[in-house]
A and B are shown apart, each in its own frame.
Chain A
Amino acid sequence: MIFNIQRFSTHDGDGIRTVIFYKGCPLRCLWCSNPESQSFDYSVMYDKSRCKNFGDCIKADNKTITRIKNNGIQINRELIKKPEKLKNVCASKALTISGESKSVDELLAEIEKDTPFYQNGGGVTLSGGEPLSHGEELITLLQKLKERNINVNIETSLYVNWRNVDKCIGLVNTFLVDLKHTDKDKFKSFTQGDAGLVMDNLIKLTDSETHVIVRIPVIPGFNFSENEMKQIIEFVTSLKNVNEIHFLPYHTYGVEKYKMLGLNYTFGNKKQIQDSELLPFIQYAQSKGLKTKIGG
């Protein structure tokens, strides 16, 4: 299942790219800017600013959706059995269902729409969610992309079984690996994952001589300190075949989406990080011989 296809992406690898966002991620970082990407199932999203109180959603499912005093609706998401049935009920698209099942061929057709623009190193980027949690279908897609000579990047947290990674080697041009932290406790307290697995996988992946770019989300209160960042950069330096590192500064563009999903954004009121604040890390990484970039 995917939740978005974004054409003309210019910051998820070289050239002009189409990004396929897979739905479902086991890591669930607290600062996640795409909260609809976490669930492997459909997500019910409600954008109150678009709601015109037509009431068609209530007609479709009056057990779980109720009106709030003629202005907007309340949704009891846990009780919705078949969210996909709500997909096209709202004319103004205030209520939408995130998540779409697409066959490999359908995805290919979407990807190939922008083939003329994939010159100068462009292509497709598989992102998410966690694309590597998507098993056999992903492999089929990768094989067909390779047949068509379309450049493939995968954006992954590597928090998956090594088998899932291994199968992709040789089919992917570049892995963009999100490395959030090297401190296991810290990693654990901000995500549902395990830094050990991530680092093990990263070592194996880089040993395989695949092209890997490491990307570090710079998150206030999590890894945004000189010491922690040094530790992370040093780990990257110890890897074979990695010569490029990207810093992805924390932003709050996704906060509205938590509301739409009926979720609380528990990460709190943190300020967005300005590019200039990354300067010391960039200098440190460069001193270790790494190529750097802000924002990918």
Chain B
Amino acid sequence: MTTITERISDLREKVLSTKPSVCTERAKFYTQIYQENEDKPVIIKRALALEKTLKEMTIYIENGGLIVGNQSSQHRAAPIFPEYAVDWLPREMDELDKRPGDAFLITEEHKKEVLEIAKWWKGKVLWDRGRALMSEELRDLQDSDIIKATGNLTSGDAHIAVDFNKMLSLGLSGYLQEIKHYHQRVKRFEQEGVKKDHFYTALTISIKAFRTFIRRYRKLALSISENEVNKKRKKELLLIADNCEIIAEKPPQNFYQALQLVYFVQLVLQIESNGHSVSLGRMDQYLFPFYQNDKIKGNVSENFASELLENMWIKLISINKIRPWSHTRFSAGGPLYQNVTIGGQTTDGLDAVNDLSFLILDSVGKMKLTQPNLSVRFHKNINNNFLLECIRVIEKGFGMPSFNNDEIVIPGLIKIGVEPEDAYNYSAIGCIEIAVPGKWGYRCTGMSFLNIMRVLLASLYNGLDKQSGKVFKKGIGNFSEFNSFSDLFKAWQHQIKYYTRKTVEIDTAVDTALEENVPDILCSAFVDSCISRGKTIKEGGSKYDYISGLQVGIANLGNSLAAIKKLVFEEKKLTKKQLLTALENNFEGKEGEKIRQLLLNFAPKYGNDDDYVDILLKDAYMEFINELENYHTTRYNRGPIGCKYFAGTSSISANVPSGAVVPATPDGRKAYTPVAEGSSPSSGTDILGPTAVFKSVSKLPTEKIMGGVLLNQKLSPATIQKDSDKQKLISIIRTFFEDLKGWHVQYNIVSKETLLAAKKNPEKYRDLIVRVAGYSAFFTTLSPDTQDDIIARTEHSLNY
């Protein structure tokens, strides 16, 4: 392992010590262009607005920085994307710096500007449009918190990785040529042709603006270098200028240039669009030829390559986003989920681990930052030394890397219609979800969030949702009249079928609004086959299109059904009335508490390898999955392969706010406390250790949950100190993936004591990072609720 240079250490410290703030530049440019061009098609407006922003926004180069490019006028200042949603900002701006988690500074001057901007956008933004496209019923479902799609409507789409292979081999001029080729052939006498004409025009404007943006850094580097007295730094600045000159035009010629271009692409995608989880794909694969070539020629040392990568990670974390509090709670810690995937297999099925995989892993481990979100693709022939290195990085306790499993993902992708060559090239997107980089549309997961415990409760009350007082779908009876467990299961089938359909209806409205209001231009340019089809991704430009929503409260569903089946219908330890009364009273009083204890202690719990509950959960979940298979996305018959939905559980930190709107549940969970996260067991209920958890999780219908089967495990640091213990951890991970075909696992290596101390003295633990769900966050930036939830999760011990 190389050491951290002073330069990197300074840059890292600077980014960590900078308080997030709000930048209004982008908002002003976009507002001005939209105002001046009201007659133009939206795609042209967006191209012009991006052009103005890239040409005029403040740019800077940090002292000592090797990788250049900034998202806004200041470090960690979040730009505003008024065209998505902005009315929340005037409402929330006086509280931004007081948020319990993810706080932002905003100046009084910026507040005034925001008010001005927000006034003009009233009624014109994506949020308004999306809501208008929904029926009253759908709006009610959203407002009642049973189905949430707020994130997509306020913060856009993304969840995508573009085609970096093509970018690195073609260069930006190559794209312009390709666009020109297709633009010349547009049939303007057809209605479709008119749209395509605008699309190609917008592409041309945007890519040219991108080139201008890169050249602005060339100029800036040159002008700084003129006054630079340090000779070494002067040389570096000149090199930066040269690099920018090349990559503004041509394909990169070496590793440094390639990395700089990748960063620029990553950056402008996040200036163009407000979505998160813009991911970098298989970085160790597409950058390796450059690295190898430089190494052979002696052009780059391992130390310098590592320094560049470390600088890259610091640059990734300097990118920031501000979201409404309603959505922030679903993604605690404010990360952008910029995923980097390493390892996995080549298209020939060989181990793809190379020197660069090790270097990326090592450099991410040295930086210990929340970005990138590092995923390792596991497969049965993966280099064991590499796995051991992975565990050593995990041991540092910032939750990375997480593992995805080729052994289930690749066959799963092929089965749904992905070509084998593409399937072998998949990467993680955001947290744990997967897509084929550069060939897949947005949102392989992360559409609407379905609060499944609300659905289960409605099944008990003849369809009445007690939380909102509304009957969305009249049921087949009340629990008090059910004679057997199968009556309850029928009620669940009846309700979940309805809610499944409604999630798709909401997604359809949202996708329509996104397509019409905020088409991405650059992002479409970099995804196969938008240019040749003359379509944005949302119009059906991508090769593949599979998406998923997120189902929140998986473990609670299984545990609740098992508790009712066993204690009410089989053992008759509880009457139906007793249970209902206890639920309605939130288990208050001695009698209520006793019932809660019975539910907790005398019914099987998911996560303990008990078929009784595990199979029940699977059956109940399958009702959702089977219904989902009836529907298509808005791109159906418009180009992409697939256009189908699958299930997904990578529900980030949504388990906390989702739980906050769920009354008491039959698994003994008290009202408004968090539900279980992802596919992990409910907090504190998995008492047989990690192997039993693995067994339970593997009984889920994994190959139908291609939106991700998220499993968090927490280990205290002492458990993997010795190499022999690390090998034992590797051994169970291997079994989980090779034999049980698990989807994913990630580890929090941190002691409960540390977390408690960090909660108490946040300033002392500023760099403490934990896995919240599918990603890592700074613990001290989390809200107390989320902190408590993390602390409560079972801490497995490998010792005794």
Interface residues of A (CB under 8 A from B): 6-11, 15-16, 52-54, 88, 91-93, 113-114, 116-117, 119-120, 122, 253, 295
Contact = CB atoms under 8 A, between A and B. Distances in A.
B689 A7 contact: yes
A122 B691 CA distance: 13
A52 to B, nearest CB: 6
Given A8-B798, A16-B731, A253-B800, A116 B739 contact: yes
A113 B609 CA distance: 8
Contacts of B690: 8
A116 B740 contact: yes
Contacts of B590: 52-54
A59 B695 CA distance: 39
B119 interface: no
Nearest to A96: B601
B799 A10 contact: yes
Given A8-B689, A10-B728, A16-B728, A116 B735 contact: yes
Interface residues of B, number: 28
Contacts of B796: 8
Interface string B710-746: 0000000000000001011001101100011000000
Nearest to A93: B601
B235 interface: no
Nearest to A6: B689
B649 to A, nearest CB: 23
A243 B594 CA distance: 55
A238 to B, nearest CB: 29
A119 B731 contact: yes
Nearest to B571: A88
A8 B794 CA distance: 15
B731 A7 contact: no
A98 to B, nearest CB: 16
Contact of B691 (A53, A54, A92, A117): A117
Contacts of B689: 6-8
Contact of B594 (A8, A52, A114, A253): A52
A164 to B, nearest CB: 26
Given A10-B725, A113-B609, A117-B691, A15 B601 contact: no
Nearest to B725: A10
A114 B731 CA distance: 13
Contacts of A122: 731
- Among B598, B609, B732, max chain A CB count under 10 A is at B732
B602 A119 contact: no
Contacts of A114: 691-692, 695
A204 to B, nearest CB: 30
A129 B304 CA distance: 59
B726 to A, nearest CB: 11
- Among B597, B740, B800, max chain A CB count under 10 A is at B800
A47 B728 CA distance: 33
Contacts of B728: 10, 15-16
20 contacts: A7-B692, A8-B690, A8-B691, A8-B798, A10-B799, A11-B799, A15-B728, A16-B728, A16-B731, A52-B590, A52-B593, A52-B594, A54-B590, A91-B602, A113-B609, A114-B695, A116-B735, A117-B731, A119-B731, A119-B734
A93 B596 CA distance: 12
A15 B727 CA distance: 9
Contacts of A120: 727, 731
A91 B735 contact: no
Contacts of B594: 52, 54, 91-92
A165 B593 CA distance: 50
Given A15-B728, A91-B597, 9 more contacts: A8-B798, A10-B799, A16-B731, A52-B597, A53-B590, A88-B602, A114-B692, A116-B739, A117-B731
B732 A16 contact: yes
A71 to B, nearest CB: 14
A92 B594 CA distance: 7
Nearest to B598: A91
A125 B383 CA distance: 31
A11 B602 contact: no
A117 B735 contact: yes
Interface of B: 590, 593-595, 597-598, 601-602, 609, 688-692, 695, 725, 727-728, 731-732, 734-735, 739-740, 796, 798-800
A11 B735 contact: no
A113 to B, nearest CB: 6
Nearest to A55: B590
Contacts of B688: 7-8
Nearest to B694: A117
Contacts of B609: 113
A92 B731 contact: no
Nearest to B611: A113
Contacts of A52: 590, 593-594, 597
A127 to B, nearest CB: 11
B798 A10 contact: yes
A7 B691 contact: yes
User: What are the 10 closest A-B residue pairs judged by CB atoms, nearest first?
Assistant: A8-B689, A91-B597, A92-B597, A116-B739, A8-B691, A91-B598, A91-B594, A117-B735, A116-B735, A93-B601
Contacts of B731: 15-16, 117, 119-120, 122
Contacts of A253: 800
A107 to B, nearest CB: 15
Contacts of A113: 609, 692, 695
A91 B601 contact: yes
Contacts of B602: 88, 91
Contacts of A119: 731, 734-735
Nearest to A118: B735
A267 B260 CA distance: 67
B481 to A, nearest CB: 27
A10 B724 CA distance: 10
A252 B690 CA distance: 25
Contacts of B695: 113-114
A16 B725 contact: no
A16 B597 contact: no
Nearest to B731: A120
A7 B690 CA distance: 9
A216 to B, nearest CB: 17
A114 B601 CA distance: 23
Contacts of B691: 7-8, 16, 114, 117
A122 B728 CA distance: 10
Contacts of B727: 120
A184 B610 CA distance: 47
- Among A11, A93, A117, max chain B CB count under 10 A is at A117
Nearest to B609: A113
A116 B732 CA distance: 9
Contact of A11 (B692, B732, B739, B800): B800
A58 B590 CA distance: 16
Contacts of A16: 691, 728, 731-732
Contacts of A53: 590
Nearest to B734: A119
A253 B800 CA distance: 10
Nearest to B608: A7
- Among A6, A9, A16, max chain B CB count under 10 A is at A16
B732 A8 contact: yes
Nearest to B688: A7
A120 B688 CA distance: 21
Nearest to A122: B731
A20 to B, nearest CB: 14
A116 B699 CA distance: 14
A92 B601 contact: yes
B388 to A, nearest CB: 14
Contacts of A54: 590, 594, 597
A9 B725 CA distance: 11
Nearest to B727: A120
A79 B90 CA distance: 72
Nearest to A33: B800
A178 B58 CA distance: 72
A113 B608 CA distance: 11
A216 B594 CA distance: 45
